[in-house]
Amino acid sequence: MTAVTACRMCGTEPLENARFCHGCGSPIDETDTRAEYKQVTVLFADVVHSMSIAAAVGAERLREIMGELVDITTAVVKRYGGTVDKFTGDGIMAVFGAPVALEDHAVRACLAALGVQEEAKRLADDVQERDGVDLQLRVGLNSGQVIAGEIGSGALGYTAVGEQVGLAQRIESVAPPGEVILSESTARLVEGAVLGEPELLRVKGTEEPVPARRLLGMGERHQAAWRAESNLVGRRWEMAAVEGLLERATDGDGAVVEVRGSPGIGKSRLVREVAAMAAARSVDVFTAFCESHASDIPFYALARLLRAATGVGDLDASAARTQVRARVPDADPEDLVLFEDLLGIADPEAELPKIDPDARRRRLTALVAAASLARRDPAVYVIEDVHWIDEVSESMLADFMAVTPQTPFLVLTSKFHPSASAPGT
C-alpha cells in the first residue's frame, strides 16, 4: 500500500489516518491506482546535443552532470505539485494533474518549466567553467486527456500514456535550446502568461504543422482560462442578495460574502458580475488570487491583495513607498518598514525590526485595520480560491473581516466546495 501524499482534488496534505481531506472534504483513497482518464499537462525536458557532451566529458562525468540535473529539475517539479514520471536518459518527463487532480495544472507546469530552465542555466555556468561544454535544455509542454495509473500487470509504477504525451515529447524535440514551447492547448489554459507570437512547428508523426507559442514569462495575475468560460445562468437570487449587501456597504455597513461550489459551475463568473456591478457604481474593486503552489508561502495572498489595494503594482519601489506613506501618514516608522517589506517595495538600506513572526503579524494586522477604518470611500475586496490561502494570510484576513462591518467595504471570497452543485453564498 502506498500512502497518499496529497489530496487528489485540492493538493492538501492529509492528516494521519484521515478518511476525508480537511482542506476540501474529498474522500481520501490510499490504494486506488487503477488507470483512469485525467486532464493533465505533460512536460518534457531534454539536454541538447547530449551525445556530443558525453563524447567531450566521458561517461562518468556525464553521469554526475545528469544526476545533478535530474535532482534540481525534480525539486522544481515537486515544488509546483507535479510528478516526475520517468528519467528519459538525457532528460525527464513530468505530469501535472495526475495522480493529484489539479485545476491549474497548466499554470503549474508553466511555472515549473520556467523554473527548470532557470536552474539548468545555473548548472550550465558551472559545467562551462569546469568542462568547457555548453549545457542547454529544451522544454515542451502539452495539455489534454491521458490515461494515468498503473499500466500493465507488472510493477511498472504509475505513469501516463496517450496521444497528448507523445505530442508533448515531439514539441520538446523541436524547441529551441534554452526555450520553453507550449502547445496551443496549454497556451489557452494560461491566460495572462507572457507568450511569443503563434508559430507553426513541423513535428514528427503529424501531417500538418502544429500551432505553438513560446513561453516568455508568467505575469503576476496569470490564471487558468476556465475562469472565463462558464455562463452565469439562473443566479438571480444570489446576485440580488449580493447587490443588496453592496448597497449597504456603500452606506458604511460592510459585509463579507463567501461564494462556494464545485469547479466550473459559475463561482468565478458570479464574482466577476459582482465586480462589474461595483465598478458601474464607481466603487473601487481590488482582486487577489490564491494559488495552490503558494499555499505554504507566508503572507502570499495578503501581499497580493494589499499590492492591488495600495496601487503599487506598476510603480517603482521608491514611488511605491512614497504613495504608501502618504496613505498612512500617522503610522509608526517601524510598522511602515514592515509593511513595505510585505509589499515587496522595501528600501534595501532600511533595517527590518528584529521581532518574532507573531509580533510581526500583530503589528501588520493593526496597521491594516487602522488604514481600513480610516478609508471613507467604498471598496470591494475579492479573494478567489481561498481554499489555497496560506495560513498567515488567512489569520490576518480573518482580523480584517472582523472590522469590515464598520467600513464601507464588501469582502467577496470564492472557495472550492465538493458537495455544492451550485455557487452558494
pLDDT for the residue 421: 45
**What is the C-alpha to C-alpha distance for residues 314 and 57, in angstroms, rounded to an integer?**
47
Residue ranges for the chain with pLDDT beneath 50: 1-2, 9, 30-31, 221-231, 420-423
> Where in the chain are the domains?
1-32, 36-225, 230-316+360-416
What is 230-316+360-416's CATH number, 3.30.2270.10, 3.40.50.300, 3.40.309.10, 3.30.565.10? 3.40.50.300
User: Distance between CA atoms of 139 and 107, rounded to whole angstroms?
Assistant: 15
Which residues lie closer than 8 Å to 384 by C-beta, 6 or more apart?
268, 271, 287, 288, 289, 290, 413, 414
Cα distance from N-terminal residue to C-terminal residue, the chain: 40
Q: In CATH, what number does 36-225 get?
A: 3.30.70.1230
**What are the tens digits of pLDDT across the range 223-277?**
443 344 444 555 677 778 888 999 999 898 999 998 887 665 567 777 878 888 8
Can you give the pLDDT at residue 387?
87
For residue 52, what pLDDT is reported? Answer: 92
Q: What is the tens place of the pLDDT at every residue in 353-380? A: 888 888 998 999 888 888 887 788 999 9
